[in-house]
Structure 1
């Protein structure tokens, strides 16, 4: 009997339709990224029904490109089109998830599609050789990551995240030393430096451009209590002790997370605390089947987090290393108490509070 005769035709048809949907939705994601980057969503939220000519004029963009983009948005049910096919409207119910209004802009994450897709050719080679990819190969990664961080970290840093640390706000008010490991462009540290002038803040990151950006902003704002340094944390020896060390979505990217965690433990004062935000997933893929952003997180891990670690001859744990493994590695690094916290606004991360 032929193999085709043994197949479930209904299941085959269902999967074929799903594949078509995946291609459709993936393409729509790229168009949503364009709408975010060009400011078209921000423009349309201020308009009622309008033509492509009117929208392009307000957005100061080329009408022909705007018209084609509107077509993609209409068939994707992101915007509404009237029966003439000439007038378009962004429903008010969609606005909070496509613009900066409300702090729930999911369009920000659509940018990762093109960022990750930009290294596909190199990644194909990595599948053959097992090699990694340098951070510098990812165009706009730090820019997109900073936007992502604005929603998951900055929006709730003072009100929700720092309070996870026992007496965290009070200590910052009084004056303590704080280190941000893998600080990127330093937005979290800069915000805290402004809020708590009695405390001193230091940011470290492997990549030069985001550190330079953080340094420039600190100078512009005349923040004397915030300094930034470019460094590889793998074998970094801290010259001072800190009361609080933070790492936001940064540890799993390191070449050697185990060594970095041990260094962090050693760099803390006797009663110091390590606050770590990382992906809220399991090391067992079976437990991740229903994660809200499971496919995206595995894709980001495969196409960015794992390769950049391997590119430094590292462990290549990836973003999906799992909260179980993260907890074990914190304990192995010497931390005596490790607690996990979930925050309502952040569906993809777990917040670990580890005591020395």
Structure 2
């Protein structure tokens, strides 16, 4: 991937918020073309400030579940950081990202490294996961449940669930790291 980034690839960040990862890649690899997307226009205003002056970055309000067909098989790399557990329709999101990736394209997904089992989380780090359950109850799950049939996964939905869902769509799914954050690298 490093060699590809140096040559220049097309990258999309889904749920970009302030687009700090987009800015980092755009600055380090100016030959890459990046699209930072978020469903929330207010987040893109923050991203606009972050990415000001970067000519290789485009910002777009977009629901990745329903990305326009002009983006089909357009990207070599999709990035999504701390987004999956908040979305109301995670299966549609993963399918939408898969659709906009080129054959052989990759998804780098980061989320909280919780287990599906409350007991396992408690044994691993009760204080930290207690905080995540609280935040999740007050923000993550209501964010998802405000939509009809929202999944309501929440911050402690579990890496086991994420891995199963990713394997339903991608040909190769690897856990790259697990600490407080968990990374998956998935190939189309």
TM over 0.5: yes
| CA RMSD, 1 decimal | 1.4
Matched, 1:235 2:66: yes
- Aligned-partner Cα distance in 2 for 1:217–1:300: 26
Greater fraction of residues in strand: 2
* Larger RCO (CA under 8 A, 6+ residues apart): 2
Structure 1 gap ranges (5+): 1-167
Matched, 1:284 2:120: no
Task: Tell me what 2:5 maps to.
Answer: 172
* Greater than 4 Å deviation, 4+ residue runs: none
How many residues are paired up?
183
- Aligned-partner Cα distance in 1 for 2:93–2:119: 29
Deviation string 1:223-260 (CA, Å, 9 cap, x unpaired) is 11011112233333352210000100111111101000
Aligned partner (choices 325, 330, 352) of residue 161 of structure 2: 325
SS at match of 1:245: strand
Question: Are the counterparts in 2 of residues 182 and 251 from structure 1 also a CA contact under 8 Å?
Answer: no
Task: Tell me what 2:184 maps to.
Answer: 352
Deviation string 1:110-130 (CA, Å, 9 cap, x unpaired) is xxxxxxxxxxxxxxxxxxxxx
Give runs of aligned pairs for residues 105-120 of structure 1, distance below 5 A.
none
Greater fraction of residues in helix: 1
Give runs of aligned pairs for residues 1-356 of structure 1, distance below 5 A.
168-219=1-52, 222-240=53-71, 241-292=74-125, 293-313=128-148, 314-332=150-168, 334-342=169-177, 347-356=179-188
Task: Tell me what 1:126 maps to.
Answer: none
Structure 2 gap ranges (5+): none
Q: TM-score normalised to the size of structure 2?
A: 0.91
- Aligned-partner Cα distance in 2 for 1:199–1:260: 24
**Larger Rg belongs to:** 1
SS at match of 1:209: helix
Question: Are the counterparts in 2 of residues 234 and 255 from structure 1 also a CA contact under 8 Å?
Answer: no
